[in-house]
Amino acid sequence: MIIAVSGTPGAGKTTVSRILSERLGYEYVSIKDFALAKGIGERVGDEIEIDVDELSRAIEREFSGKNVVIDGHLSHLVSADVVIVLRLHPRIVAERLNFRGYSRKKLAENVEAELVDVILVEAIEENENVIEVDTTGKTPEEVVSEILSLLEKGVKRRVGIVDWSHAYDDVVQYLMLGGD
């Protein structure tokens, strides 16, 4: 089974993916490392540009029929048996990305993306089986337990459980309204 774990930067993808792969006995795959190793991605400044179509084909070739957890904020765009979209309160996303030294523009883009469900919407457009999980106020172990419980129950689709519309006032200071 291919499980893709996606979400806005700062939502806990890597930590959750590593624990999930360990608990399931699945191989852990970082989408960034995989893309770079296969020549699908290239470093451009601080970022890695990846051809998503080529990445999806390579993931399918390499991992079809295998048990893997794929970690990365583009993983929801590849062929997977189930996509887990991790959600996190946008204010906490801002705090974490600020701590990581993200530029004001990058921080604003990611806070806005979380606020308006960008990754969830893309995941739903690309995949049939999408499970949304709110990580706010939960430890990574609690998040993994929730994911495992949903998978054990046979849940294939759970979306629309997070609504950050009430959080706008909490994050407006991080947004770049009206441009730079």
Considering only CA atoms, which of 121, 140, 133, 128 is closest in space to residue 162? 133
pLDDT digits (tens, 9 = 90+) for 26-81: 999 999 899 989 988 777 777 778 888 999 999 999 999 999 999 998 999 998 99
Domain coordinates in residue numbering, the chain: 2-88+128-163
Task: Write down the pLDDT at residue 51.
Answer: 86
Question: Known binder of ligand: residue 156?
Answer: no
Question: Known binder of ligand: residue 96?
Answer: no
Question: Known binder of ligand: residue 136?
Answer: no
pLDDT digits (tens, 9 = 90+) for 97-134: 999 999 999 999 999 999 999 999 999 999 999 999 99
CATH label, 2-88+128-163, candidates 2.30.110.10, 3.40.50.1000, 3.40.50.300, 1.10.760.10: 3.40.50.300
Question: Known binder of ligand: residue 139?
Answer: no
* Average pLDDT of the segment spanning 89-94: 96
Question: Known binder of ligand: residue 100?
Answer: yes
Task: Write down the pLDDT at residue 169.
Answer: 86
SS (H, E, C) the chain: CEEEEEECCCCCHHHHHHHHHHHHCCEEEEHHHHHHHCCCEEEECCEEEECHHHHHHHHHHHHCCCCEEEECCCHHHCCCCEEEEEECCHHHHHHHHHHCCCCHHHHHHHHHHHHCCHHHHHHHHHCCCEEEEECCCCCHHHHHHHHHHHHHCCCCCECCCCCCHHHHHHHHHHCCCCCC
